[in-house]
Amino acid sequence: MISNSLTTKMQQKFAPAQIQFMKLLQLPMQSLDQRIKEELEKNPVLEENEDKNDDENLSYNQKDEKEDNQENDNVFDVYFQDDDIPDYRREKSDNRVDPGSYYSSKNTLYEDLSNQLALEETTDLEKKIGEEIIGNINDSGYLTRSIDAIVDDLFFSQNIEVKSSDIEKVLKKIQTFDPAGVGARNLQECLLLQIDRYKTKNKETFLEKQIVSNEKLFELFKNKQYQTLLQKLSCQKDELEKAIENIKNLNPKPASNSTNLLDNMYIVPDFIVWNNDGKVEFQLNKTYDKSLKISQYYSKMLEKMQKDKANTESKQAITFIKDKIDSANEFIMALNKRDETLNNVMKTIIDYQYEYFLDGDITKMKPMRLIDIAFKTASDVSTISRVASNKYCQTHFGFFLLKDFFSNAVEDTKGNKVSSDIIKSTIVKYIDKEDKQKPLTDDKLVEILKEDGYELARRTVAKYREALNIPVARLRKQLS
């Protein structure tokens, strides 16, 4: 039986301006520059503003908004009542740091290997096989598909019928590319490729290859059972020490720090922080130094068309221009709101961690959570999360991700709350000083930390050690 009924439900919807702002907020500086360029290309009414203080360049919408600012601030007051930002305007300083590039990253591995493949003398078939192989090499440099799987992929996706031996032949060629070790199917093959690339005719290289190529010997090496390894190889202790050192110097992830790529891109910091005679100051690093405005040409065209008698074509043109102007205004306001929010959040972080930012002493870092900054800025936690996401900060004592300044609280034996980062730095300090023939176990670290006033469970110490990418004691053990 069919019946009609009414139901009510609540549904949250985001306004376009709010969505625009959230998307821009989470973009790092480098991506923001690209996003601005894209908007300039697709919206003809949006232009670069050479004179930021020229009121003549404001659109009619912006002029009205400026005049009515006291009564009705802007569209974001409606959309972001929970995220209102307190008034804050940073003072200008002559000591500002010039924007620049700091950490370099590389072209994609796929592009680099494809460029090297293009330089090889290959048939059309070998080139297609090579492209398929390269497409299955991950960011660490390892081939993630089996030979048989690649044979099937070529047949079903490109209708190319090949043998496993054809794949192997091209793979061998790719394994000669830079970086050394690329195209390996497992760790042992990766290390062997590097040994062969740098081999010399001496006893040490022979031992290296013998250790890595033999499954049982390699297992002894991984578990640092050096005494047993010494007995199995029947070699001198100093020879084994040298071979072990050489193997350790090989790169288990060959593509992670390749230095031979053709072009460099740069990650620039979103914030620059410095100590100005005992006072911590900062600036938002705006690499895109021009503000945006609405084109006067289109504004005047719209005014003229609205005054004239409208026909069907002019009505469509009016609608088109108005839509573009509205879109441009939303984008400009979102950019301004982004800058204001970033400045406010960074100022609050510095105020919270002021002692730490003076000299970078990790022991002065306070526990700080996203919710702490959200409370102080009267913002939502999701807003702070977006600000901290993928943003970099250059300080006078190093280069950090913004999220590095956030940490959980740990209570010491006196009841004081300290940052978990302090515990981690303490663990690193003791491990750096340990006897490498008798490295500190997690249980021993628990005892030492307790003497320093940090009473932690063994599993907590193990969690911090793993977060620092420090292996267990038996894997830190050295032969001498």
pLDDT tens string 238-294: 888 888 888 888 888 888 754 443 344 467 789 999 999 889 999 998 766 668 888
User: Are both 295 and 230 inside the same structural domain?
Assistant: no
Determine, yes or no, domain membership for 3. Answer: no
User: Are both 279 and 362 inside the same structural domain?
Assistant: yes
User: Are both 67 and 160 inside the same structural domain?
Assistant: no
Task: Answer for the pair 406, 388: CB distance below 8 angstroms, yes or no.
Answer: yes
Helix (H, G, I), strand (E, B) or coil at 159: coil
Counted domains in the chain: 4
Of 412 and 110, the one with more pLDDT: 110
Going 14 to 16 to 22 to 26, the CA torsion angle's sign is positive
User: Are both 374 and 282 inside the same structural domain?
Assistant: yes
Determine, yes or no, domain membership for 262. Answer: no
Q: What's the confidence (pLDDT) of residue 103?
A: 37
User: Are both 27 and 61 inside the same structural domain?
Assistant: yes
User: Are both 84 and 129 inside the same structural domain?
Assistant: no
State how far the Cα of 355 lies from the Cα of 362, in Å rounded to an integer.
10
Determine, yes or no, domain membership for 1. Answer: no
Measured at the CA of 347, the angle between CA 49 and CA 332, to 5 degrees, comes to 25
Helix (H, G, I), strand (E, B) or coil at 63: helix
State how far the Cα of 113 lies from the Cα of 182, in Å rounded to an integer.
9
Domain that holds residue 209: 187-248
| Percent of the chain with pLDDT strictly greater than 70 | 79
Which residues sit opposite 267 in a β-bridge?
Answer: 103
User: Are both 291 and 356 inside the same structural domain?
Assistant: yes
Determine, yes or no, domain membership for 326. Answer: yes
Determine, yes or no, domain membership for 394. Answer: no
User: Are both 277 and 364 inside the same structural domain?
Assistant: yes
Burial class (CB in 10 A: 0-12, 13-18, 19+), 419: buried
pLDDT tens string 156-189: 888 888 888 999 999 999 999 988 889 899 888 8
pLDDT at 74 over 90: no
Which contiguous run of DSSP H or E holds residue 283?
Answer: strand 279-284
415: tokens are: 């009841």
User: The CATH number of the domain where 430 resides is what?
Assistant: 1.10.10.60
pLDDT at 107 over 50: yes
State how far the Cα of 153 lies from the Cα of 161, in Å rounded to an integer.
10
Q: Spell out the alpha helix ranges (H) of 69-202.
A: 75-79, 109-118, 124-135, 147-158, 164-174, 187-197
pLDDT tens string 12-26: 555 677 788 888 888
User: Are both 81 and 109 inside the same structural domain?
Assistant: no
Determine, yes or no, domain membership for 97. Answer: no
The sheet that has 279-284: what strands, in order across it? Answer: 279-284, 271-276, 392-395, 398-401
